[in-house]
Chains A and B, each alone.
Chain A
């Protein structure tokens, strides 16, 4: 069981819903672990799905030309922070 704040819980739920990860429990997600490759084992299709879900729910679009793409998706904690800063 990991400590997560409300924003992190909300984004974790969005990840579970939008990526068909029904068999993953919120508590299973380590907020500091990599979302892609090792951690949840997400791939590039997931990154696109997640960007669609984020754009619909939070009203902003993910870009990678800021060169911080890897940072944004580094972990649940990083993604939740990015959402908090950019949400409309």
Chain B
């Protein structure tokens, strides 16, 4: 790893003044001096543990938790979901872990600390100077799902996150001297949410809205909360909802979308409706965000500064001297134009992405076939249905099972303990046999045919 020289240190905030507003929480502004004083106070209250799961839903609370954990040199774990099996496995692999939460509901089986109310803590400029961390300090371990049910860990260092955020800001043309306001519909625990709604605003003097608005009307309300224009960090799913409902939102500086490529028609319609640019990020848990594009220009992804790409025998390789390990290999199918430009094409048939979550078909099938009473079965990704102007609806997985004697609900209950709810099959079809060919494979055409047929009644 080389995230700069080992002596390099990066501040939590970019250059600015103690009065700069960091966040707006329920109408209240929090400036840097107040934030720093509260982060130092929170750090003193954290338990003596090595690992933290920052489960805070409020973006300002999450940011405070991050700063406090950095001060205490605790490493954040970003599990790929919160289903019981995933959390159980995490606890067994990292027993010295606890959960920081701002909700009554916490993660099953994990020690938990509820973030304390800190309304009475005065700002202290001196605390800002404490929020400076070595480039090679380990901030987090992020996980992706593996093909055998075992998630793979990726180590993230502070210098890497800061340089990713600076590269991302340059790609978007953000100006840290000017600053701005940011509203996001994505959770801060997601790779994209972390870079775009936590690191990017910290490194560019943007005020974050602590809420995570969901419905188009909520988004409109959050954006209107401040007079300045807003950078709106969102996903194709939310953008599609805004376009479908024709929710006109004024006062946008820019829209940033990620988690899945935008359909060109949706991008065009969003630009027209909101009178602003729609930019997109491409990234992964392994690499963080690495490239951007604007569909209105073309579909070519351009890498951030200090990031290059190439095709190797092992696949799509991404290089950056600030990665913990370089190159990182990604499972997407791409055509590399040159070391800083590429396009996505076709798809990796084993890789499933729904609503910003990623799974391998082989892993899902592994969990399906492990269920008692299933004689044969497979998950299957149908073709996307296009809905014209507003792009496509999120395509869900289907599954076919040969399981006489098992009820649909019993089967779904079993699946729910092991796989994330977004991957639950819809429809789940009970069949007499799968259309396997002589070599035991399942031709796509046959499965599509089966999907169109009536289910047998079991």
Shortest distance from the beta carbon of A44 to any chain B beta carbon, whole Å: 7
- How far is B218's CA from A64's CA once the two chains are assembled, in angstroms? 7
- Which one of A19, A23, A63 lies within 8 Å of B215 (CB-CB)? A63
Q: Does B244 contact A (CB under 8 A)?
A: yes
- How far is B355's CA from A64's CA once the two chains are assembled, in angstroms? 20
- Which one of A22, A43, A55, A61 lies within 8 Å of B421 (CB-CB)? A43
List CB contacts (< 8 Å) of B410-456 with chain A. 412, 416, 421-422, 424, 426-429, 455
Contacts A23-B428, A23-B455, A52-B241 given; indicate if A45 touches B217 (C-beta within 8 A): no
List CB contacts (< 8 Å) of A13-38 with chain B. 19-23
Contacts A23-B455, A52-B241 given; indicate if A65 touches B421 (C-beta within 8 A): no
- How far is B282's CA from A88's CA once the two chains are assembled, in angstroms? 40
Residue total for B at the interface (Cβ-Cβ under 8 A)? 29
Q: Does B221 contact A (CB under 8 A)?
A: yes
Shortest distance from the beta carbon of B31 to any chain A beta carbon, whole Å: 25
Is B424 in contact with A65, judged by CB distance below 8 angstroms?
no
Q: Does B238 contact A (CB under 8 A)?
A: yes
Is A44 in contact with B426, judged by CB distance below 8 angstroms?
no
- Which one of B213, B244, B426 lies within 8 Å of A55 (CB-CB)? B244
Q: Does B214 contact A (CB under 8 A)?
A: yes
- How far is B426's CA from A49's CA once the two chains are assembled, in angstroms? 15
Is A61 in contact with B216, judged by CB distance below 8 angstroms?
yes
Residue total for A at the interface (Cβ-Cβ under 8 A)? 22
Is B426 in contact with A21, judged by CB distance below 8 angstroms?
yes
Shortest distance from the beta carbon of A74 to any chain B beta carbon, whole Å: 16
Contacts A45-B422, A52-B245, A61-B247 given; indicate if A20 touches B396 (C-beta within 8 A): yes
Shortest distance from the beta carbon of B260 to any chain A beta carbon, whole Å: 12
Shortest distance from the beta carbon of B25 to any chain A beta carbon, whole Å: 15
List CB contacts (< 8 Å) of A41-88 with chain B. 41, 43-45, 47-49, 51-52, 55-56, 61-65, 69
Q: Which residue of B lies closest to A55 (CB)?
A: B245
Using a CB–CB distance below 8 Å, which chain A residues touch chain B? 19-23, 41, 43-45, 47-49, 51-52, 55-56, 61-65, 69
Residue contacts A-B, CB under 8 angstroms, 12 given = A21-B426, A23-B427, A47-B214, A48-B214, A51-B215, A52-B245, A55-B244, A56-B244, A64-B218, A65-B217, A65-B221, A69-B214
